[in-house]
Structures are given as structure tokens and as C-alpha cells.
Structure 1
Amino acid sequence: MNPIVSVSELTAELAGPRPPVLLDVRWQLGGPDQRPEYEAGHLPGAVYVDLDRELAGPPGAGGRHPLPDPEAFGAVLRRAGVGAGTPVVAYDGGLGWAAARLWWLLRWTGHEDVRVLDGGLAAWLAAGGRVTADVPSPAEGDFKPNPGAMGLLDADGAAALARDGVLLDARAGERYRGEVEPIDPVGGHVPGALSAPTTENVAADGTFRPAAELAERFRALGADGSAPVGVYCGSGVSGAHEVLALAVAGIPAALYAGSWSEWSNDPTRPVATGPEAG
């Protein structure tokens, strides 16, 4: 299944016999809360999901956005009307990172029919899509999480993959090089990781580049099927977006969910700086 869906495809599906559940995952790093924006206008029928509180556990040693408790995550999705076989489409109002986080979590916990709206809310509005302030009350779903369906790395696994496979750093290049670090305690990257900003996976309008272009980009970074691939970022959000881009290109990849926010908080972990993998 293509993990992204266009506005025209979604419009047709919403009018069809098996419309997907829509999940609005608008989010902004560091706040403010985006629920007021959701309440002011969202895709008809969409349910709001809060990334910080519902798609992540409490921040701590495991990073700024550690994985949520699977049972708590399942309860959130059931309240949103998600069932085991319910098609789901997630969208956000920005770069697609938050929607990709929800896509990854649903895929990791065993839900197979989930996609991200390509270009998000901006693409929907640009195509003349309608929004509403009506907040839906969906019937309870029956989704039960079964974690393990997507590759997941811990810190040791990420270090091993950087040595023996392909570990991609989805953050901005200046953070990878250690020139700036606005959030985490130490700048730089996991030794052996390759810089691959996820912002380069999308066009100027926020939609994904064609699958063939993405595949060529990742092949140039060594993700050519000859070795396992992993991704990390700052806290497992934009990294999920890169895993989604790899999926569009037909390349399976694991996510290091703790990412740099976990790695950099452990003083025993080595740190590389500069443009080279190290």
C-alpha cells in the first residue's frame, strides 16, 4: 500500500462506501497547543490527536518524545473511532512530521491501513477542500495495539547500524554537523551516521517528491537494499517522516525512537561533529 494519499484520492474515498477515519495531528515543536487551530477549522469528521500527550510518553532519559505506552495509545485511537480494519488517514498543518509520527505508531502497533495526506491541510485548502468547526463524536473503535510490526532501534542498535548498515540523520545539516544545537545538550551526530535532512524529501509545496526521485536520493546515501537502514532525528518525530519517505521509495527502515534527545543525554555515548560521518 502507498503510505501517502493525495487530496483527490482522499476526496473520492470520503465519498465512497468505506471512508477512512481522519486524524488531525497538528503540532508545533515547543508549543503552543494546536487544538485551538483544530477547533477553528479542520477536515470534516477529523478527530484531533495531541502528539505531546497522546503520541509520546513523558520526556526523560528515553528522550523528549519516547514511545507512548501501547495500551494508552490504543485507548486514544479507539476513542477516535479506529478499528482493527478501519482505514485511517492522518494529516497535520505543517511539514507532515506529526502525521508521520502517527502513521509510524499505527504501523508499529500492527495497523496496516494507515496513510498520510500528502501536503497536509495546506494541500487540502489549496484544492478548495472544505473545513468545519464541528467536533465529531465517533463511535468507539476496537483497535488493539500489537507492537513490533515496524523496525525499532534503541541506542545500542543505532550505534551498531551506523557501523554495519546505513543510519540516516533526518535533522537539519547544521545540527548534524554540531554547528548549532537549539534543543539538546550536545551538538553533533551518532558516529557513522549520514546526514539526510528530511526536508529534502519534499517539494516546495510540502508534498513528497516522486518515489523514483526519493529512491535515487536514498541510493546515493547507501540505502540500496544491500544493508539494513535506520533513521533518527531529534526526538523521533521528523525521523518518522524520513521513514515514511523511505517507504514511499519502497525501502524499509527502522526508527531510533529516542533519537538524538536520548543519545546526547548519555555522557558515555560518543559524539561526532563536522560534515563527515565520523
Structure 2
Amino acid sequence: MHPLIEVPALDRLLRRQANVVLLDVRWHLAGPPGIESYRRGHLPGAVFLDLDRDVAGPPGPGGRHPLPGPADFEAAMRRAGVSADSLVVVYDDADSTAAARVWWSLRYFGHEQVRVLDGGYRAWTEAGHPVSTDEPEAKPGDFVADPGRLPVLDAEGAAELAGAGVLLDARAAERYRGEQEPVDPVAGHIPGARNAPTSGNVGVDGRFLPPGLLRERFAQLGATDALDVGAYCGSGVTAAHEILALHLAGIPAALYVGSWSNWVADPGNPVATGDG
């Protein structure tokens, strides 16, 4: 299944009353909670998903957004109405940063029928489609979590990949270089990692670049389907966006879920600064 869906295709599905579960996962690293945006207006029938509560485990040494336990993720998806035969369509404000983490998580836990609304809520409203303030109560689903369906990295694996393959750092360049670090206690990057900010995966409208342009972008960073590739960010959210962009480019890649927040939790892990 193609990982993206465009607004016209989603509109046609909803008009046919297809078995679609709409998940609104608007989330802001800094700013008002996503639930406030949801309550002001969302796609009709969409259920709000809290990224911190429903798509990640409690923060700690494993990172700020570690993998949730299978039972916890299963329960969250069932509350949202996800069943084995559901087509899940997930969206956020525009650039799919948060939506990609849900896409990745559902696939990691064994649900293949999941797509990201390219351009998100903004694309839907700019196309003139209606929104709703009703908060539907989802019919409980029967989703069963089957973890391990996508490759992941731990700190040791990330360090090895940075030397033997290609490890992409999906954060902004100034965080990668160690010039500023607004969230984690240590600034810098994993030695050997290459900077590939997720902002370069999308256009100004928040939609993903065409696959050919994405392939060119990653090839310039040394990432091709001929090498082992992985990605990390601050806490494993925007890195999932990088994994999705790599997938669109035809490049399989592993996610370091704990990412920088897990890396710096161990003072023995080395830190690099500058352009690398």
C-alpha cells in the first residue's frame, strides 16, 4: 500500500463510506496541545490521538518518546477504532511530522493498511472541504499488536551504522552542529552521522517531494538502497518522517527510536559537534 493519500482520494473514500479510521495526531513540540487544534476543527469523523500518551511510552532513559509497550499501543489503537481490516488514515497540521510517527508505529506493530494524508489538515481545508467540531466516540476496534515488523536501532546499533553504513540525523542543522539544543541536556550529534533535516523532505505546502527528488537528496548524503541506512532525531518523532521519506525514495531504513535523548542519557557515549 502506498504510504500517502491525497485529499481528493480521501474525499472519495469517505463519500463511499469506506471502512476508514481517521486519526488526527496534531502535535506541537512547543506550543498549545494538539487537542486544542482538534477541538477548533478537524476532518469529520476523525478521532484525536495523543502522540505523547498513545504513540510513545513514558519518557526516561530510553528517550523522550520511546516505543510504547505492545499492550499499551494495542489498547490505544482499539480505543481509536482500529481493527484488523481498517484502512487507517492519519494526519497532522501539514508536514506529516507527527503523522509519520503513527504511520511507522502502526506498521512496526503489524498493521499494513495505514496511509498519511499528504499536506494534512491544511491541504484538506485549502481544498474547501468541511471540518467538524463534533468529537465522535469510536467503536472499539480489534487491533492486535505484533511488534518487530520494522527494523529499529539501539545506541550500539546506531554507533555501528554511523561507521559502516549511513546514519542520518533528521534535526535542524544548528542542533546537529551543537550550536543550540532547546530540549536535551547535551548539544551535538552522534559521531559519523550525516545531517538531513526533515524540512528538506517536503515543499512549502507541507507535501512530500516527488520520489525522484527525494532519491537525489538522499543520494547526495550517501544514502542509497545499496547501503544500510538508519535515522534518528531528538526523540524518534521527526526521524520517523525521515524513514517515510526514505521509503518513498525506495530506500529501506531503520529507526533509532530513542534517538538523541537516549544517546545522551549515557555519559559514556561520544558527542561530536560542527559539520561532521
Percent identity of the aligned residues? 59
Shift of 1:19: 3.8
Contact 1:43 1:131 (8 Å CA) reproduced: yes
Contact 1:233 1:259 (8 Å CA) reproduced: yes
- Tell me the amino acid that sits aligned with residue 10 of structure 1: L
Aligned to 1:22: 22
Q: Deviations over 1:188-223 (max 9, x none)?
A: 111111000010000001000111100111112112
Shift of 1:33: 1.8
Q: Deviations over 1:162-213 (max 9, x none)?
A: 1111100000011111111111111111111100001000000100011110
Aligned to 2:119: 119
RMSD: 1.1
Provide the C-alpha distance between the structure 2 equivalents of 1:167 and 1:20, rounded to a whole number of angstroms.
35
- Tell me the amino acid that sits aligned with residue 247 of structure 1: H
Aligned to 2:11: 11
Task: Determine helix, strand or coil for the equivalent of 1:179.
Answer: coil
2:159 pairs with 1:128? no
**Aligned pairs (5 A) from 1:187-198:** 187-198=187-198
Contact 1:170 1:233 (8 Å CA) reproduced: yes
**Aligned pairs (5 A) from 1:185-224:** 185-224=185-224
Shift of 1:94: 4.4
Provide the C-alpha distance between the structure 1 equivalents of 2:180 and 2:22, rounded to a whole number of angstroms.
37
Provide the C-alpha distance between the structure 2 equivalents of 1:90 and 1:141, rounded to a whole number of angstroms.
16
Shift of 1:17: 5.3
Task: Determine helix, strand or coil for the equivalent of 1:167.
Answer: strand
Task: Determine helix, strand or coil for the equivalent of 1:230.
Answer: strand
Provide the C-alpha distance between the structure 2 equivalents of 1:105 and 1:220, rounded to a whole number of angstroms.
28
Provide the C-alpha distance between the structure 1 equivalents of 2:129 and 2:196, rounded to a whole number of angstroms.
33
Task: State which drifts further: 32-41 or 101-110.
Answer: 32-41
Task: Determine helix, strand or coil for the equivalent of 1:231.
Answer: strand
Contact 2:110 2:145 (8 Å CA) reproduced: yes
Provide the C-alpha distance between the structure 2 equivalents of 1:53 and 1:17, rounded to a whole number of angstroms.
29
* Greater than 6 Å deviation, 4+ residue runs: none
Gapped regions of structure 1 (runs ≥ 5): none
Aligned residue pairs total 276
Provide the C-alpha distance between the structure 2 equivalents of 1:83 and 1:252, rounded to a whole number of angstroms.
27
Shift of 1:38: 0.8
TM-score, L = length of structure 1: 0.97
2:182 pairs with 1:170? no
Provide the C-alpha distance between the structure 1 equivalents of 2:102 and 2:32, rounded to a whole number of angstroms.
19
- Tell me the amino acid that sits aligned with residue 35 of structure 2: R
Provide the C-alpha distance between the structure 2 equivalents of 1:183 and 1:146, rounded to a whole number of angstroms.
32
Provide the C-alpha distance between the structure 2 equivalents of 1:70 and 1:40, rounded to a whole number of angstroms.
32
Gapped regions of structure 2 (runs ≥ 5): none
Aligned to 2:184: 184
Aligned to 2:69: 69
Provide the C-alpha distance between the structure 1 equivalents of 2:129 and 2:144, rounded to a whole number of angstroms.
32
Q: Deviations over 1:216-256 (max 9, x none)?
A: 11112112222111000000000011101111112111100
Contact 2:79 2:141 (8 Å CA) reproduced: yes
Contact 1:236 1:257 (8 Å CA) reproduced: yes
Provide the C-alpha distance between the structure 2 equivalents of 1:31 and 1:54, rounded to a whole number of angstroms.
19
TM-score, L = length of structure 2: 0.97
Contact 2:94 2:118 (8 Å CA) reproduced: no
